[in-house]
Amino acid sequence: MAVGEVMRMEIPSGGDMSVTSPELHVLAVDDSIVDRKVIERLLRISACKVTTVESGARALQYLGLDGDKGASGLKDLKVNLIVTDYSMPGLTGYDLLKKIKESSVFREIPVVIMSSENILPRIEQCLREGAEDFLLKPVKLADVKRIKELIMRNEAEDCKTLSHSNKRKLAEYIDDASSPSPSPSPSPSSSTHDDSSAKDFPSSKQMKSADEKFSSLL
Amino acid sequence: MDTLVAQLQRQFRDYTISLYHQLFWYVKGFLDDQFTELKKLQDECSPDFVAEVVSLFFEDCEKLIGNMARALDQTGNVDFSLVGSSVHQLKGSSSSVGAKRVKGLCVTFKECCDSQNFEGCVRCLQQVDIEYKSLKAKLQDLFNLEQQIVQAGGRIPQVDI
């Protein structure tokens, strides 16, 4: 682009602004080379972009959370989901989960924990800390499909929330710009679709996951 | 008169079933459901996926068994938690590929580590070594059969266990 050139957005002539669902980019963390190979294939076959790393430390490095300012160039692709093994040397999956939830930049990224051990207190601890879900190893295709659907559903809900608030803003703008005669107001429930209700989503997701998890264990 | 392909396909079917099923009461199947799950992940885009994963698994076995042997070799100063952590890793990867017998042995092996039973650990180590090598040979035979079928112009049958 030359200096002074303005970028024009290409609007399809049909006027269709709907976005086809983009691919999820998943960061998979596991110290086992066998499990990394399997989870990578499971995710690829489920139409996800995958990056695998062998440790919690590497995961933080990839995200640029390890304090090394130079690492930020690596993450060209936005991460939509983190899937991590629980038992790893050094940083456990739980430690990684905590670090991600403590980060203002990354805390919204859903984290799923995998473990070969069905230890209820461990599961509870992870869900309490904000894990989206907990998968028992060995991981199967059905597990990955379920997780993907859950994440896509949540992302769609977030988009709907966003587009509602955008529509409201647009309507207000039109109101201000046009004559004083009132235009029909947007749906009365729009006041609930503001930022504060979006903050409620993570905890309600957690509670739902916890219930689902517990009912399947009983 | 049976074609070569049909013969090979039948052989492949029988061999596959034998790998999963208990033939005698004291003989456990070599493979479980997870192996079937891995087969689901193989397609034209990734035609050697299963072979690649099991290859990684057998390399992992070699490495971990080496670690365990070295740790058990420190006479009088065996670090059982170190052995135990290698057993845990082996259990994990065997579970991920459907290596049923290896996984089962790891359960016993872990118990020996936890109770610091040296002789038990040594016995388990020997058994695990024999078991993974045995599985490796059997899967190699299975993959060879697949290759023969394809080379003879046939399709690899879907075997429902």
Residue numbers in B near A139 (CB within 8 A): 96
Burial A138-167 (b: 16+ CB within 10 A, else e): bbbeebbeebbebbeebbeeeeebeebeee
Kindly identify which residue of chain B lies nearest to residue A139, measuring between CA atoms: B96
Write the DSSP string, B68-136: HHHHHTSTT---HHHHHHHHHHHHHHHHHHTBHHHHHHHHHHHHHHHTT-HHHHHHHHHHHHHHHHHHH
pLDDT at A215 over 60: no
Residue B109 β-bridge partners: none
Number of separate helices (H) and strands (E) present in chain B: 6, 0
- pLDDT tens for each residue of A45-80: 999 999 999 999 999 999 988 776 544 545 556 899
Q: Which residues of A touch B89 (CB under 8 A)?
A: 31-32
Q: Is A37 exposed, middle or buried (0-12, 13-18, 19+ CB in 10 A)?
A: buried
pLDDT of B106 higher than 70:
yes
Q: So what's the ipTM on this one?
A: 0.88
| Average pLDDT value for residue range A153-167 | 75
Please count the residues of chain A: 218
Scanning every residue of chain B, which has its alpha carbon at the shortest distance from the alpha carbon of A44? Answer: B41
Chosen from A30, A33, A38, A118 to mutate, greatest number of chain B CBs within 10 A: A38
In chain A, where do the E strands start and end?
A: 25-29, 49-53, 81-85, 111-115, 133-136
Q: At B157, is the secondary structure helix, strand, or coil?
A: coil
In this prediction, residue A156 carries a pLDDT of 81
- Residue B7 pLDDT exceeds 80: yes
| CB-closest option in A37, A45, A137 to B92 | A137
B140 pLDDT exceeds 70?
yes
Query: Mean pLDDT across chain B, nearest whole number?
Result: 92
What is the arithmetic mean of pLDDT over A140-158?
90
Tell me the shortest Cα–Cα distance from A194 to chain B, in angstroms: 42
A32 vs chain B: nearest CA distance in angstroms? 7
The alpha carbon of residue B37 is apart from the nearest alpha carbon of chain A, in Å, by 6
| Residue B142 amino acid letter | L
CA angle B92, A89, A70 (to 5 degrees): 125
Q: Please answer yes or no on whether A32 and B40 come within 8 Å at the CB atom.
A: no
CB-based contact B52 A141, cutoff 8 Å: no
Q: Kindly report the CA angle at A140 between A139 and A146, in degrees rounded to 5?
A: 100
Better-predicted residue by pLDDT, A21 or A93 = A93
Distance between B53 CA and the closest CA of chain A, angstroms = 6
Comparing CB atoms, the residue among A34, A116, A137 nearest residue B53 is A34
Measured between beta carbons, which residues in chain B are less than 8 angstroms from residue A34?
Answer: 53, 56-57, 60, 92-93, 96-97
Contact (CB<8Å) B46/A41: yes
Alpha carbon of B56: minimum distance to chain A alpha carbons (Å): 6
Q: Taking the CA atoms of chain A, what radius of gyration do you get in angstroms?
A: 21
Percent of chain A with pLDDT over 90: 50
DSSP code string of A160-204: HHHHHHHHHHHHHHHHHHS-SSPPPPPPGGGGGSSHHHHHHHHHH
Strand partners, B99: B31
What residues form DSSP beta bridges with B43? none
pLDDT single digits (tens) B109-138:
999 999 999 999 999 999 999 999 999 999
Stretch among A124-138, A202-216, B50-64 having the lowest mean pLDDT = A202-216
pTM: 0.76
* Average pLDDT score over residue span B86-91: 97
The answer to whether the CB atoms of A34 and B37 lie below 8 A apart is no
Which one of A31, A33, A37 makes the best mutation probe of the B interface by having the most chain B beta carbons within 10 Å?
A37
Q: What is the mean pLDDT of residues A110-135?
A: 96
CB contact under 8 A, B41 and A45: yes
Question: What mean pLDDT do residues A191-197 have?
Answer: 42
